[in-house]
Amino acid sequence: MRCLLADDHPALVVALSDFLETNGIEVAAIARDGAEAVELAASEAPDVALVDYRMPKLAGRELVERIRAEAPGTKVVVYTAEMGESIAREALGAGASGIVLKEAPLVDLLRALGSALADRTYVDPALAGLALLNPRSGRTLLTVRECQVLELLAEGLSHEEIGGRLGISGETVRTHLQKASERLGAGTRTQAVATALRLGFIS
């Protein structure tokens, strides 16, 4: 895996570079600000870009969208010190494949990068219970975890397989699905997936 590392804190960049390289991930380039991150993503075409959500020159939703536009084959994993519903909503809505909190264990970065490379979404466990807004109505409806469960269900995975992907039990998957179905007014899991697709919670 080739990774673009974008962060404006030199000491953190050194620590992250060493950690990633030690774990078999090539740091293809390092960006010190958002604008440089976009340029390097376009020129280096890394598999994944690990980016600080708040950086000089270009940041947040616009940063994620620009990287995705300039380097369509590059997955974006957001690395942030901020915990909040707006961060999760913005980053995922902009096309990020994952969100990891800077306070999380470094091993979580490996999980997030691996998930991104496998076309799966990774959300830091501390953020998984946050509620997302309906993209069309603006009304809070489903949590991040419920969206993840529905997304994987739409791929045809069983409850146990979904649990394995998300690091939770099959019974917990059933609970998330039941709550999501109730909020969506769906009588079956097929209806829940169809409604979530129609409302724009999953794609």
Phi/psi at 23 (nearest 5 deg)?
A: -100, 20
Pair (135, 113) in one structural domain? no
Burial (0-12, 13-18, 19+ Cβ within 10 Å), 97: buried
Across all residues in the chain, what is the average pLDDT? 84
What is the per-residue pLDDT across 172-188, written as a single tens digit (0 to 9) for each? Answer: 999 999 988 887 778 88
What is the per-residue pLDDT across 125-160, written as a single tens digit (0 to 9) for each? Answer: 777 656 555 544 445 467 778 888 888 888 889 999
134 contacts: CB under 8 Å, gap ≥ 6: 140, 141, 199, 200, 201
Pair (77, 160) in one structural domain? no
Whole-structure pTM value: 0.68
Structure tokens at 83: 């915990």
Structure tokens at 54: 């708040």
Pair (23, 68) in one structural domain? yes
Pair (76, 176) in one structural domain? no
- Residue 131: its pLDDT value, please? 57
- Residue 75: its pLDDT value, please? 93
In whole angstroms, give the CA distance from residue 190 to residue 192: 5
- Residue 129: its pLDDT value, please? 58
- DSSP H helical ranges for 75-143: 85-94, 107-117
Pair (42, 119) in one structural domain? yes
Total structural domains within the chain:
2
* Domain membership of residue 12 as a residue range: 2-123
Domain C-terminal end among 56, 90, 123:
123
Domain C-terminal end among 76, 103, 123:
123
Domain C-terminal end among 101, 123, 145:
123
DSSP state of 10: H
- Residue 142: Cβ within 10 Å count: 24
